[in-house]
Structure 1
Amino acid sequence: MRFVLLFLFIFAACDRETPDPPQATSPPTSTAAQIFATGRALQARGLFSQAEQAYRQVLQQAPDNPQYHYYLGVVLHAQSRFAEAQTQFEKALELKPDYAGPRIALGKMFYDVHGKVEEARQLLTEALKLAPNAVEASYILGVIHQREGQLQEAREIFAAIATADSTHLQARLQLGQVDLKLGNYQEAERQLRQVAHLSPHEPTAFLGIGQALLRMGRAAEGQRALERARVLDEQNTQLKPHQDALRQHPNQPQTHSNLAALYSRFGRLKLAVEHYRQSILIDSTYGLGYQGLGTLLQRRGKDDLAAHYYLEALSHDSTLAESHNNLGLILHKQGQLEKALKQYERAVRFSPSTGFYYSNLGNVFLEMDQLDQAQAAVERAIEIDAKLYSAHILLGDIHARRGEFARAIALWENIPSGGAASESLKAKIAEARRQLSAQEHAPR
């Protein structure tokens, strides 16, 4: 996991570095500047081959501009075309010997790709002499020290970065990991908890916290932290393709909505809200964005506001079954059964393969004492999803309402037990047995 983290940091540093524009031999034309800006925008979206074409085009107009060669090298490196990238970085240095950026890029590449430790250190040290505030050069030099076993030197670098910039989480993360290797378990825990506080979805921080706690004999806490790291790692793996899609298509509302839906599923609600909102800022008629915001509000118990968003969603797309169903739930809760019924009916019409929509429909029919319709809807729910145990319970309720207590008991007793619902079910069964007994002993 540490290697992956290093690679991501290296790439991000190359991508975001904007060294002072060097003096070109001949000033670039406005057209060249526009093409270069296009390349930078494509690079930021992860469209490296397209960015490469833009940089090659601008170099045809300004072949002696070292900055253009540098950025061409960056996107070639991102495509794992390391020899070509090296050529461009070296050309940039030939044109401008005091250019720190290419030295940093070459230092990273020499170490990661070729394993040339001393050459990498020399290049990074030279870059720091030219640009003393180049934090990425210091950081990568620290990582090299760390991975080569020079832990005290690495710790000094990471501590200096973290002290100068408390928001530099990667340096603080590495500082915690170095302390862990040095046996400074309490200090490692302290540093890594700061990372986890500021970046609560970073699995590496929780992994380190878990390891530190285990080594201090706090086994239960350590195991919980390790489990948290495992869950976050799995979540981040699922999120990555959606994050990549967003990076490449930042102006498509669907990419924001898809990512928001996963964030919501994983409980990252602030991020979910941010991306649902962005989807409707991009397209004010995008129904799924309003639906997503409604779902988040409903989960927080803000039913009136949620209903507003569902109605807005449906005004743009009347086929959104989830909005119909959720609006039905709100109306059902308010006792507006006829209105709830209409929404549930629309939900099953637009999504006829979703079992719990039929179950909700059956539930409102039951409350309206329309038992035949209730039974038909609930049996359809079970046909779609045999493990929808709430529908089995509801079917038992329908039998009980008819006085068919033996059938209700038989259904309920076949439902797997567990959780708080189990106590409620036991109470239903006990009451049904009492009613059945009363039936059997009633005068005929």
Structure 2
Amino acid sequence: MTGVSEKPNFPELVRVCARIGFLSFGGPAGQIALMHRELVEERGWVSEAQYLHALNFCHLLPGPEAQQLATWIGWKLHGLRGGLAAGLLFVLPGALVILALSMLYAWSAQVEWFVALFLGIKAAVLAIVVQALMRIAGRALNTRFKKALAVVAFLALFFLDLPFPLVVLGSGAIGIVVAAVRPEWLALKPLGAPPAASPRPWRQTVTAVLVWSAVWALPMGLVLLVLGRDHVLWHVGVFFSQLAIVTFGGAYSVLAYMAQEAVHGFGWLSAGEMADGLGLAETTPGPLIMVTQFVGYLAAFRAPEPFTPLVAGMLGAALTTWVTFVPCFLWIFALAPWIERLEHARRLNGGLAALTSAVVGVIANLSLWFMLHVLFARVDEFRIGPLRLYAPDWPTFDWRAALLAALAAALIFRFRLNVIKVLVIAALGGLILARIG
């Protein structure tokens, strides 16, 4: 189907969005392709041009672009309630599965077979992250300037330990300047005809910002009043609220920052457990950034007072999910009326191109950080002047993890198996090696 068909009624939209929510495996690329097939090709509810314009618009926003695209489509078809239905149904199936897996993980993490199972999952995550790095680099780094930005971002994060928001937002600012003076450095495409003049939707935007900012802050206000600033739930809510603002370029771009802060800054979990959480998120429907819920659950589960560990963990997971995804609704409902205007903003597009290039360096940082902490039981940090360096403890090298990582890499790059099959095979490999190791 190529044209746009009649707008669906609301129950039909809900039914199709629920189907997409339960089938949205495979990361943002697979999720975007699934929505395109279901909503553009098969049903024609939005046109190809509208879909691509909206996708480019969502790339400009912090947060999971696939979930925001689903929210925009719902908004386009049925306004506020359509956006809420589509966005929530994209998130809820994966959120419920991750919650159940987080509960199982917290109670079983010391069981021998469980440890062996997740040895394989952690090893597979290494290969999966490297695959994401190569895929994004191949698509994004099409000029020398972009390649240089990626290298600088990697050096700034891995060796200089500069703050992640500074690197990402700084890259975007550089892109805005370069777009004005040397757009060819960013390979920016010529702009088409500007949209027809129309009233600017300031009222809609301001109303959405005020309402959704209050919704975003509501549970944090309750935590502050009941538990205070020293409780783990307050720290969880503040951290993941900040993360929601700087999550440009997809989940992989922010995982290293989140992992390093959660592991070394707050001590909520170990580096190996962080890799376990990413493996769980890879196997469930919905956005990969849902791994934040796993972190929030463990953080509260391990500092539960005045609740029981189970109740605290569920509150931590719920709060994390709330402050991670409510901002996505804010961005869409506030900015969707501006979509055609933003599509023709050259400087904004330049900032996005530069930011996407820096994301390659960010993911390279994540890949190397995960590799060190999965292959070695102990990794020390030390500084030489402004440089932050890592020193793996070689006697703690885990040959089983290295073997399983090599197997996962072969399955992905040589045999081109999908992520879920690779994770299952690597997990079974971990169980087998535990028996013979």
TM-score normalised by L of structure 2: 0.19
Q: Which has the higher contact order (CA 8 A, sep 6+)?
A: 2
TM-score (norm 1): 0.19
